[in-house]
């Protein structure tokens, strides 16, 4: 997770958003891919939609809980590093404490800078401990859940709006490919990489994962 100040960063970073959307798309495409173009009826479509929605809701809740667990672990880790740097014995101890979390930064700082940093930490209050969750953490968990859940609807909508399963499946697959590509573009911008190759790579990755999921009985 980003270490930028809370006021200057989004609740979910591009990587987190892309991962949750990708997961939701894969789960929904797994359900839509099991429909038979020749034999599926309206009852089958209804069962598919309910199944995809319920599955994504369940996994959205699970991902939200895992997100909160990661936030608590990160908060506790930050407190441990704070204490280790503050209580370090000399520049060598400070460097070792920082190296556990930020090895590159620890290697670049001079002894005088390390001591100045330690003195500044001594003068400031200790951050909240015990992995306390903040409002942003809860909003992030909600965002994770909603991203997974709402990816169900664009892919399932063609089956609810069109009478024939064949055209609905083709339209659903086209929407999925577009969403995979756009997810890759958003992710590329977040990591400073070219949008087109990352978007195409995300599309290919999504298709491969769906095929593997269906082949393995998912």
Instruction: Provide the residue ranges of all domains of the chain, joining segments of one domain with +.
Output: 12-215
Distance in angstroms (rounded) separating the CA atoms of residues 64 and 24: 13
Comparing 204 with 6, the larger pLDDT belongs to 204
Tell me what the mean pLDDT of segment 35-55 comes to.
71
CA–CA distance from 3 to each of 85, 153, 166, 170 (Å)? 17, 33, 48, 42
pLDDT at position 181 over 80: yes
Comparing 184 with 39, the larger pLDDT belongs to 184
pLDDT at position 59 over 80: yes
Distance in angstroms (rounded) separating the CA atoms of residues 195 and 198: 5
pLDDT tens digits, residue range 82-134?
877 778 777 777 777 777 777 777 777 777 877 787 778 777 777 665 667 88
Which sign does the torsion angle of CA 103, 109, 111, 112 carry?
A: negative
> What are the start-end ranges of the H helices in the chain?
14-32, 42-86, 90-99, 103-108, 111-123, 135-150, 152-161, 165-191, 195-215
Tell me what the mean pLDDT of segment 17-46 comes to.
74
pLDDT tens digits, residue range 120-174?
877 777 766 566 788 888 999 999 999 888 988 998 888 888 877 778 888 888 8
């Amino acid at each position: 997770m980003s270490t930028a100040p809370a006021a200057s960063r989004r609740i979910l970073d591009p990587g987190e958003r892309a991962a949750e959307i990708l997961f939701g798309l894969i789960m929904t495409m797994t359900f839509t891919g099991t429909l038979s173009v020749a034999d599926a009826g309206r009852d089958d479509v209804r069962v598919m939609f309910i199944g995809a929605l319920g599955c994504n809701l369940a996994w959205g809740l699970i991902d939200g809980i895992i997100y909160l667990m990661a936030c608590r672990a990160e908060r506790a880790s930050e407190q441990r590093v704070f204490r280790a740097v503050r209580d370090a014995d000399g520049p060598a101890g400070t460097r070792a404490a920082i190296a556990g979390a930020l090895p590159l930064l620890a290697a670049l700082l001079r002894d005088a800078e390390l001591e100045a940093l330690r003195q500044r930490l001594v003068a400031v209050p200790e951050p909240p401990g015990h992995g306390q969750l903040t409002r942003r953490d809860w909003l992030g968990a909600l965002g994770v859940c909603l991203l997974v859940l709402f990816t169900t609807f664009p892919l399932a909508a063609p089956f609810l709006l069109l009478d024939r399963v064949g055209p609905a499946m083709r339209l659903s697959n086209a929407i999925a490919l577009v969403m995979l590509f756009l997810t890759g573009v958003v992710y590329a911008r977040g990591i400073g990489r070219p949008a087109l190759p990352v978007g195409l790579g995300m599309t290919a990755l999504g298709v491969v994962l769906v095929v593997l999921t269906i082949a393995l009985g998912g």
